[in-house]
Structure 1
Amino acid sequence: MLIWLEQARDSALVGAKAARLSALAGQFPVPSGFCLTAAAFAQWLAQGKPETIPPNIAALIEQAYQEFAAKLDIAEPRVAVRSSAADEDSHSASSAGQYETYLNVVGISELREAVLRCWRSADTERVRAYRRRGSATPSQHLDEIRMGVLIQQQIAADISVIAFSVNPVSGNRTEGVINAVWGLGQSLADGSVTPDTYIFSKSDLSLLRQDIGAKERMTILKPSGVEEVNVPRVMRRQSVLNADKLNQVAAMVCALEALNGWHVD
């Protein structure tokens, strides 16, 4: 019911997100971690969705967290707890934003609660409505969902980006687009901040256009969890990415597209 990320290649077992990150971990900088498999979610469902994690699964989580702490040489490592459903993050239907992610989770008690909240996110009205609309081809019933949970080391990011290997506005396949903000990526992913936008040529990675966003808010780490705060005024009109970082992200996007064989973000 639990497997380390470097071994988590089976999407039916751990969900699409975890399986894809596992496959990329040897070639790209992917934070380390471990996964609860879909079997753990299935047991929780079969027991009637209790308010606490079944004891056998809770013991596995605690043991893995302790081993993870020893590997990192940190008493209570900060982790991101991420849903990883089998129908999530496919190249035909992403289900983006339908399930939940919890950042900067610290300690075993918080970790257990975050896992429960990820499991519960599979049965929200938002997810049910998404499935009814037919925007994707996921399983239609809760007991058919294969939900893994991915636990990764939390990165204390100074900047975050979302990058596309095709221009999502124009559809131009010769261009890539990078959106960038200060701090963690939550403000960017949930659309609460206007990011910097960089359009680059995929043929030589040259910058074609740059638009500096307002970036009035950013997400930062608290002792536990995260919060959104004002960006210092002097930073709001500064470019988040310098030429070197822009080139690194653009090169990674093109490499990921080549490896996967389809357009990526």
Structure 2
Amino acid sequence: MNRPNDPTIVWLGEPTANDPSLVGEKVATLNRLAPLCHMPPGLCLTTAAFWQAADRSGATSSPLLDPVRAAYQLLAQRCGVAEPAVAVRLSPVDPEQLAASPVSQLKATLNVQGIEAVMTAVQRCWGAARPASVTEGVAVLVQQMAPTETSAVVFSANPLTSNCDEVVIHANWGLGASIVGGAVTSDIYIVSKASPAVFSVQVADKERMTVAGPEGAHEVAVPDILRHRLALVERQIAALAQLAVKVEVEMGHPVEIECACQGETIYLLRCRPIVLLTGQ
């Protein structure tokens, strides 16, 4: 629903970013979890921006381009770089309304730099949502790329066995797109919630990894020296398990989270329910 008085841009960390009708479920969830973890700075083009673009037949019309340029410049100041590399992600109010959209349009666009490239990526997201079929609108998250040595997708309960006393971690070198897309075989760690230092490990032959480059993210071969090496060290495994449990407690149900790991720092990038265990 188009609400003309709503803001077109809000920032992660602001109270306004808690409203899923304005920023979509994905951004509202991240904003709720921000006090619990490290999270890269980001701005959200709200559903109001989506409706303005739809009404004016073009996301690059001056009423939207100028505010987005100013917001990107402010993000650059917060990041300490002239043109920060960002991920551009769709955040729908009602994901079911995008069921007919091409999968390629629903994927995040990674390592985007410069206002023109950012607006192109935003338009791509908006292209997945046609006003005739998306009655609730969509938002778009523009978020600094987290420094990433290793990525992990973490389940706060075992999705295969429904064991809620275990945390299951899938990890690979580089960005998380390779894990999320299921394109590679990743290491698997099973951690007991009762004792996060006790875990079992299934080491994968990690042939491919996703990395950031000038043209966005792309897959490359994993260096031979890393293919059979554990992607996570024990401290990272324990920290990821503890974060998954904290998020599960905050959300009130088992969750799947995506994280970027850089040394001792764990960045939370995404959170959603484990559908088979929550029924959501």
Q: Deviating runs (4+, > 6 A) in structure 1? A: none
Q: Deviations over 1:144-181 (max 9, x none)?
A: 13210011111131100000011011111111100000
1:151 paired residue number = 142
TM-score for the superposition, normalised by structure 2:
0.81
1:38 to 42, 47, 53: 47
Say whether the 8 Å CA contact 1:156–1:184 is kept in structure 2.
Answer: no
Identity %: 38
Deviation at 1:141, TM superposition (A): 5.6
Deviation at 1:17, TM superposition (A): 0.9
Q: Distance in 2 between matches of 1:168 and 1:146?
A: 31
What letter matches 1:21 in structure 2?
L
1:219 partner SS: strand
Q: Distance in 2 between matches of 1:222 and 1:22?
A: 28
Q: Distance in 2 between matches of 1:145 and 1:53?
A: 22
Say whether the 8 Å CA contact 2:53–2:64 is kept in structure 1.
Answer: no
2:68 paired residue number = 61
2:92 to 82, 85, 92: 85
Say whether the 8 Å CA contact 1:198–1:207 is kept in structure 2.
Answer: no
Q: How does 1:104-253 map to 2 (within 5 A)?
A: 104-122=111-129, 142-253=133-244
What letter matches 2:217 in structure 1?
V
Q: Distance in 1 between matches of 2:77 and 2:52?
A: 28
Q: Which has the higher strand share?
A: 2
Q: Distance in 1 between matches of 2:113 and 2:219?
A: 18
1:178 partner SS: strand
Aligned length: 242
Q: Runs of 5+ in structure 1 lacking a partner?
A: 90-94, 124-139
Say whether the 8 Å CA contact 1:194–1:214 is kept in structure 2.
Answer: yes
Q: Distance in 1 between matches of 2:107 and 2:129?
A: 9
Say whether the 8 Å CA contact 2:197–2:234 is kept in structure 1.
Answer: no
Q: Deviations over 1:89-138 (max 9, x none)?
A: 9xxxxx9x782311100000100000001111235xxxxxxxxxxxxxxx
Q: Distance in 1 between matches of 2:117 and 2:207?
A: 30
Q: Which deviates more, 172-181 or 65-74? A: 65-74
Q: Runs of 5+ in structure 2 lacking a partner?
A: 1-7, 257-280
Q: Distance in 2 between matches of 1:208 and 1:73?
A: 39
Q: Distance in 2 between matches of 1:156 and 1:195?
A: 20
1:168 partner SS: coil
Q: Distance in 2 between matches of 1:241 and 1:201?
A: 16
1:6 partner SS: coil
RMSD: 2.1
TM-score for the superposition, normalised by structure 1:
0.86
